[in-house]
Amino acid sequence: MNFKVILAAAALLATQSFAIIGIGGHYAPGFGTKMKAGPVLPVTEGIQFGHEGFDGTMQGFGFKLWIDILPIIDIEATYNIQFGSYDAALYVDGVAEPLPLEIELAGTPFGKANPKFVASGLDVSITYPLTFIPVIRPYIGGGVTYHLNTFVLNQSFVQGIIDDPAISEMIKSVANKEGLDPEALQQKVQELETLGQTLKQKVQDKAMDEGLKTSIGGHALVGVRAKLPIIPIAAYCNFKYYFGGDYPKEVDAGNMTLEVGGGFAL
């Protein structure tokens, strides 16, 4: 009799250790992605442009929905956003300091900042549990990824901005300082600030026109999920390797992401 009670209690605990459905958020750094620096090259007469790169971890975050109720397999849907920062600037003949190009987009996690390459992706994964031990659930799996990547602020992008006659005239006016008295030079400083703000707005407008580059790829994953009985909270850790997907020519994708987080599981 006692044995039957213990067995029933163990079965109940095991059942409640596996969630029917869960939703959570996680830290999602990307590893190995590099962006090559662009040399300072002329984009028009008297104006050069160059950008730096980055080499290392892309910071990121994401959200996950998982379903454990299906027999044999589980299903996950994940959306990750990762970003790497770099510097970009215009070099104008006759202007001592470079003009940094910034992106100022309201409603983004970044606000006013130096340019960022942003890589995001929607993963739909099928996973297979390696064991059915209560509390801890290791698994392997894979699936399809829908990639969405931003542009890189490169020479061809900036060329489209500088080709605007109004911008070209502003730059030439700022660069011309011959024979100016101190008051006129101060006016040039104000013109330089106005030019900087105008360039930021032009970069923003062109960025919105460019939109996101989309492509389809895949991924393989190994992970573990843990949930205590009765308590509707779970923690998880996934390592994913991606293949396929299109990136700008300046970006060498590392294709590796770690997801560490938790959420509610019912």
Q: What is the tens place of the pLDDT at every residue in 138-186?
A: 999 999 999 999 888 888 777 777 777 777 667 666 666 555 555 655 6
Tokens of 130: 């390696």
Grade residue 13 by pLDDT with cuts at 50, 70 and 90.
very low
CA distance linking residue 49 with residue 186, whole number of Å:
25
Grade residue 24 by pLDDT with cuts at 50, 70 and 90.
very high
What's the rounded mean pLDDT across residues 83-107?
Answer: 74
Residue 214 pairs in a beta bridge with: 148
Domain boundaries of the chain, sorted by first residue: 2-151+214-265
CA distance linking residue 81 with residue 62, whole number of Å:
6
The per-residue pLDDT for 132 is 77
The more confidently predicted of residues 143 and 105 is: 143
The per-residue pLDDT for 140 is 96
What's the rounded mean pLDDT across residues 18-42?
Answer: 89
Grade residue 15 by pLDDT with cuts at 50, 70 and 90.
very low
**97 C-beta neighbours (distance < 10 Å), count:** 9
The per-residue pLDDT for 112 is 56
Question: Which residues contact residue 40 at a Cβ distance below 8 angstroms, ignoring those fewer than 6 apart?
Answer: 48, 49, 50, 91
Q: What angle, rounded to 10 degrees, do the helices at 182-210 and 155-162 form? A: 120
The per-residue pLDDT for 126 is 96
What's the rounded mean pLDDT across residues 20-38?
Answer: 92
Share of the chain above pLDDT 90, in %: 36
What's the rounded mean pLDDT across residues 108-118?
Answer: 68
Q: Between 3.40.50.10470, 3.40.1160.10, 3.40.50.150, 2.40.160.20, what CATH number should domain 2-151+214-265 receive?
A: 2.40.160.20
The whole-chain average pLDDT of the chain stands at: 81
The per-residue pLDDT for 196 is 66
What's the rounded mean pLDDT across residues 5-23?
Answer: 57
Least confident of 164-168, 213-217, 239-243: 164-168
Query: What counts of helices (H) and strands (E) characterise the chain?
Result: 4, 18
53: number of CA atoms within 13 Å, CB side?
15
The per-residue pLDDT for 181 is 56
The per-residue pLDDT for 101 is 76
CA 160 to chain centre: 25
Tokens of 18: 């596996």
The more confidently predicted of residues 93 and 153 is: 153
What's the rounded mean pLDDT across residues 115-119?
Answer: 88
Grade residue 10 by pLDDT with cuts at 50, 70 and 90.
very low
134, with CB counted inside 10 A (0-12, 13-18, 19+), is middle
Question: Which residues contact residue 97 at a Cβ distance below 8 angstroms, ignoring those fewer than 6 apart?
Answer: none
